[in-house]
A and B are shown apart, each in its own frame.
Chain A
């Protein structure tokens, strides 16, 4: 899993890490040249705010225009949320074949699972949806920086200031300081799949 290498490289970068920096590393590590971001006015943010698509059809717009991989985000979102959704979706360029949704049946299963209450027995593609959320956080917040912020948080530094520093949506800042975060990142930074 090449996320291991991405995570390692991000540790020495100054924050805030730009989405283009992450994208360029993902391209280099996957050997794929796609991954551009586009905005769509018809991706209804109440229904779906972002979409990662990878195509194998050489005649399709996705291959001709975007080199195979594209991330679509709803137009007009908060800029920090827009950036985070893009990076989270970009992490799917690291999906292995088992995690990929590459058939109509798997696609229908994934849509159904989004509507379910959290339950045991999640499908592997759904687990990769969760995994990529944490992978994006891990890429955008080097561990040394996170530990420093954890110490200052509550001692004068609030989540809005952390959000501004890391350019992360403020609603996701507390996720960096959840007690399970170190264990989750330990797994992901070693290339191990998460279990729920």
Chain B
């Protein structure tokens, strides 16, 4: 067996690296957000826009994750209606 094949086999046996697993998890957040916003039985969103956070290096996956959290909170009623008399 060639060295390259051996390495590939060892990597296969060890499963995905921590980085790969994290990346897969993060991609999952983006897929979940797309499904919730635009998928069948989802919110059927006609428009979504964002005001970015203070971390300019935030990734699309991190943004998707925080959006998923907000949607879950809106659906479960865990939000606070802002007082209309505020300036």
Contact = CB atoms under 8 A, between A and B. Distances in A.
Contact of A57 (B34, B42, B73, B81): B42
Given A72-B74, A112-B60, A92 B53 contact: no
Contacts, number: 171
Contacts of A72: 70, 74, 79
Contact of B51 (A42, A44, A54, A89): A89
Contact of A44 (B47, B53, B57, B72): B53
Query: In the complex, which range does the number of interface residues on chain A fall in?
Result: 35 or more
Given A72-B79, A115-B58, A48 B49 contact: no
Contacts of B81: 36-38
Given A92-B47, A115-B57, A43 B70 contact: yes
Nearest to A37: B82
B47 A101 contact: yes
Interface string B69-86: 110111100111110111
Interface in A78-106: 79, 83, 85-86, 88-89, 92, 95, 99-104
Contacts of A48: 50-53, 58, 63, 66-67
Contact of A39 (B48, B51, B57, B80): B80
Nearest to B76: A61
Contacts of A89: 49, 51
Interface of B: 30, 33-35, 37-39, 42-60, 62-67, 69-70, 72-75, 78-82, 84-87
Would you list the 5 A-B pairs with minimal beta carbon distance, nearest first? Answer: A50-B51, A111-B60, A104-B34, A57-B44, A100-B47
